[in-house]
Amino acid sequence: MRYDVLIAGGGIGGGVLAQLLARGGKRVAVLERSVAPPKWLRPEILWPAMQQVLLSLAPRETWERAAFLPLQGIRVHDGEEFLPLATPEVFAAARVQPMFTNPNATREQLLQLGGFELRRGVEVTQVLKDGGRITGLRTRELATQREEEWLADWTVGDDGVRSLVREAAGIAMPTRLFPVEFLCLALDSWPATLPQATVHLWPNWHHADSGILAFGAGSLPGGVGVGMVLIASKAFDANPHVAESWAEFCGANEALRAVVGGRKFPGDFVRVARPWGHAERYGAPGALLMGDAAHSVSPAGGQGANMSIADAVVLAELLLSNAPRIDSRQNVTGSVGPSGHR
């Protein structure tokens, strides 16, 4: 089967791109390694311009059922009580309503919108080439080890920071680990005593030297919630008593204990490191990169998923109206939008 566009990886950007291209009449396949959403959860904030993109693909109710909640505020605990950092009035005055989202649900929703071929449980193992041009992908089905070849005019790498498409295209992206890592926790309920859709932050005011910098948590649609411990990796790994440090941190704070419940630390949390870097180019003949495969940013400010959606919009416009060109220095070019921005 020959496709107009193959997308390696069904991340948030790949899901949006597949949908935009399918709606524009392109024959698209998404090849995704996972068969189901990950069991672990982390928070993700989406900003208004990117919400608009998602709202153009499915009605608001669809997203709000499982994936989005309009963020009502951010509160920080000063050791005695919560102080408001951001309130609905602040968001209204700035005309910026962030969405607090369940990233697993957003990605599932995108992949289920249909209109393109979705193959899950297949790992992209190789890039196919004809002369100097990338012409498709080879996959291995994880359950059966069956191999398949997929051909396309364009191959897009949305396969994350360790992108195989980027590597096969010979595009360098040196990365370093962000010095703060995350211990993520899915919460199957949210305490009734704390406001919904509000990010709660507990800085570890007195013992940040333990490596435990802060805990943040909030509720998500469906009565569930998500929490995340920020750790300074080096200090955390050098601390032989992290469980005791955590118990001391929680012990000082009733609301924090109510959120975390009886979960074991760190065993019940999933540790996530974040390599960051920037690819030297965004494409090669026959191949384009997007999202973390092209620019894995630090999680400060919550931008990576937003940027991946923005990439999807630009790539969709290029692929639908005006095939992207790879210039002599192998930069991706083409005009986008009515004003012809490059």
Ligand X SMILES: Cc1cc2nc3c(=O)[nH]c(=O)nc-3n(C[C@H](O)[C@H](O)[C@H](O)COP(=O)(O)OP(=O)(O)OC[C@H]3O[C@@H](n4cnc5c(N)ncnc54)[C@H](O)[C@@H]3O)c2cc1C
The interface region with ligand X, picked from 4-12, 20-28, 59-67, 278-286 by CB under 6 A, is 4-12
Please state the closest distance from residue 149 (CB atom) to ligand X, in A.
14
Q: Which is nearer to ligand X, 77 or 274 (CB)?
A: 274
C-alpha 75/C-alpha 86 separation (Å) is 7
Taking CB under 6 A as the rule, does residue 181 contact ligand X?
A: no
When the beta carbons of 144 and 193 are compared against ligand X, the nearer one is 144
Cα separation of 123 and 228, whole Å? 29
Q: Are 323 and 5 in contact (CB under 8 A)?
A: no
Question: In this structure, what are the phi and psi dihedrals at residue 128, rounded to the nearest 5 degrees?
Answer: -90, 140
Tell me if 289 contacts ligand X by CB under 6 A: no
Determine, following the binding rule CB under 6 A, whether residue 216 of this chain makes contact with ligand X. Answer: no
Calpha distance 206→188 (Å, rounded): 29
Binding mask 104-133 toward ligand X (x if CB under 6 A, else -) reads: -------------------xx---------
Residue (39 or 329) nearer to ligand X, CB: 39
Q: Closest distance between ligand X and the C-beta of residue 184, in Å? A: 6
Residue among 41, 45, 54, 220 that touches ligand X (CB under 6 A): 45
Question: Looking at 71-79, 216-224, 230-238, 288-296, which segment touches ligand X (CB under 6 A)?
Answer: 288-296
Beta bridge partners of 7: 30, 156
Residue type, 136: G
Q: Which is nearer to ligand X, 71 or 250 (CB)?
A: 71
- Tokens 């406001």 belong to which residue? 195
Question: CB 61 → ligand X: shortest distance, Å?
Answer: 23
The residues in 73-92 that bind ligand X, with binding defined as CB under 6 A, are: none
Of the pair 252, 275, the CB lying nearest ligand X is at 275
- Cα–Cα distance, 212 to 236 (Å, whole number): 7
């790879």: which residue's tokens? Answer: 326
Q: Which of 75, 77, 166, 274 binds ligand X (CB under 6 A)?
A: 274
Reply yes or no: is the peptide bond before residue 266 cis, omega within 30 of 0. Answer: yes
Structural tokens at position 292: 């973390």
Answer yes or no whether residue 283 interacts with ligand X by CB under 6 A.
no
Report how far residue 330's alpha carbon sits from residue 47's, in angstroms, rounded to the nearest whole number. 31
Among 18, 32, 110, 171, binds ligand X (CB under 6 A): 32
Does 8 bind ligand X (CB under 6 A)? Our answer is yes
- CA–CA gap between residue 225 and residue 167 (Å, rounded): 36
Q: Tell me the backbone φ, ψ of residue 103, rounded to 5 degrees.
A: -60, -30
Report strand pairing: 147-157 vs 2-8: parallel
- Contact status: 229 vs ligand X (CB under 6 A): no
Q: Which stretch binds ligand X (CB under 6 A): 112-120, 204-212, 280-288, 295-303?
A: 295-303
**Cα–Cα distance, 322 to 317 (Å, whole number):** 8
DSSP 223: G
The reply on whether position 295 binds ligand X by CB under 6 A is: no
Q: Taking CB under 6 A as the rule, does residue 98 contact ligand X?
A: no
Rounded Cα–Cα distance for residues 143 and 160 (Å): 22
Q: Given the rule CB under 6 A, which residues bind ligand X?
A: 8-14, 31-34, 42, 44-45, 123-124, 158-160, 164, 182, 272, 274, 291-293, 299, 302-306, 308
